[in-house]
Chains A and B, each alone.
Chain A
Amino acid sequence: MDVSELTLTELRDALRRGETTSMAATEAMLDRIVRFDNQLRSYLTVTDELAYEQAAEADRRLADGEEAPLLGVPIAVKDIICTTGIPTTAGSKILEGFIPPYDAFVVEQLKEAGAIILGKTNTDEFAMGSSTENSAYVTSANPWDLSRVPGGSSGGSAAAVAAGLAYGALGTDTGGSVRQPASFCGVVGLRPTYGRMSRWGVIAFASSLDQVGTFGRTVADCAAMFEVTAGYDRRDSTSLDVPVPDLRQAMTGDIRGLRVECTA
């Protein structure tokens, strides 16, 4: 089994069955980042030491039979979402060297769920752009054609997931910044309804529109990350105090009768 080929949900299940380890999955991702990210430039910061520490801890918990929704699963976080002790730049030189003293709500939730954080992904400066060309650091490449952009602003997250440099990733979407790069990179992007995700610790672009979203290789992968990161948080007064639905129950595979209207 090539552990880097697994989807997020396949990895989660394989970890629970003891067929692989979080350390193996984390190492596989970090190795691929070393091999390919000099061309893709999807990460601004790779937190390899921290990721190995988290993976070792996850493997201990897995061995103890502990259950957490994403225990041992390595994922990436857009660099506009605050992470304690990890530089967070929002793709801007203004914030170069800024180390947040607290985690965003969605990062707290990921850690609580046992996820491993591989690093922070590239974004257009303060999420203002649709290609990552407006990042003050680098322009990410589209893994399907390195001469093209991956879209944006969450282009680093989309490229990392598409290239197998993370099992999933968080992005943010104000006017398409998850949906459009997901489309450019051929992965699934979910922009939840406004109010579903807490914006606590997310550097603002337009507060009445900003939402955290998820990137996955499959719909199920996005759902798994959504279920962990969605939910009410009193520190964001626009976050909705309504239960988060069990999306897996809705994923019956039967989409008969649904109508989708696509406006462009």
Chain B
Amino acid sequence: MSLTHEDVAWIANLARLAVTDEEIEAYRTQLSAVLDYAARLNELDLTDIEPSAHAVLRQNVWREDVIEPSLPLEDVLFNAAETDQDQFLIQSVLDD
């Protein structure tokens, strides 16, 4: 796919980049080569393949709102530098 001088100038304008005529010519060649490379994907036969926008099923994941077993308190607090009444004791962040 060959981009024109005007295409590149327009892209540069959209990106708010100031480019000289010489630079536009250099980018025209380079960007065209990139598009040519990506265009090779069109050689694949995708007749029986469903289009996909994302690799992962995007749906919300719910669980019942019920209490389930969790880690024992002593394990949870094991790494705490200090504890008080079964809670992490840390330096205060905000003044009173």
Residues of A participating in the B interface, judged by any CB pair closer than 8 Å: 97-99, 101-102, 193-195, 234, 237-238, 240, 259, 261, 263
CB pair B71–A195 under 8 Å, yes or no, is no
CB pair B79–A99 under 8 Å, yes or no, is yes
For residue B44, CB closer than 8 A to chain A, the reply is yes
For residue B61, CB closer than 8 A to chain A, the reply is yes
- Which residues on A sit within 8 Å (CB–CB) of B76? 101
B contact patch SS: loop
Residues of B participating in the A interface, judged by any CB pair closer than 8 Å: 37, 40-41, 44, 55-57, 61, 63, 71, 75-76, 78-79
- Which residues on A sit within 8 Å (CB–CB) of B61? 237-238
A6 CB to closest chain B CB, in angstroms? Answer: 35
Q: Which among A102, A240, A259 is the interface contact of B57 at CB below 8 angstroms?
A: A240
Q: How far is the CA of A194 from the CA of B44 in the complex (A)?
A: 23
A-B contact count (CB 8 A): 27
Q: How far is the CA of A201 from the CA of B47 in the complex (A)?
A: 41
- Which residues on A sit within 8 Å (CB–CB) of B79? 97-99, 101
CB pair B56–A101 under 8 Å, yes or no, is no
CB pair B55–A102 under 8 Å, yes or no, is no
Q: How far is the CA of A195 from the CA of B61 in the complex (A)?
A: 13
CB pair B71–A102 under 8 Å, yes or no, is yes
* Closest Cβ neighbor of B78 among chain A residues: A101
Q: List 25 A-B contacts (CB under 8 A).
A: A97-B79, A98-B79, A99-B78, A99-B79, A101-B71, A101-B75, A101-B78, A101-B79, A102-B71, A102-B75, A193-B55, A194-B55, A194-B56, A195-B55, A195-B56, A195-B57, A234-B63, A237-B61, A238-B61, A240-B56, A240-B57, A259-B44, A261-B40, A261-B41, A263-B37
A contact patch SS: loop
- Which residues on A sit within 8 Å (CB–CB) of B37? 263
* Closest Cβ neighbor of A238 among chain B residues: B56
- Which residues on B sit within 8 Å (CB–CB) of A261? 40-41
* Closest Cβ neighbor of B40 among chain A residues: A261
* Closest Cβ neighbor of A234 among chain B residues: B63
* Closest Cβ neighbor of B77 among chain A residues: A101
- Which residues on B sit within 8 Å (CB–CB) of A259? 44
Q: How far is the CA of A207 from the CA of B15 in the complex (A)?
A: 30
- Which residues on A sit within 8 Å (CB–CB) of B75? 101-102
A94 CB to closest chain B CB, in angstroms? Answer: 12
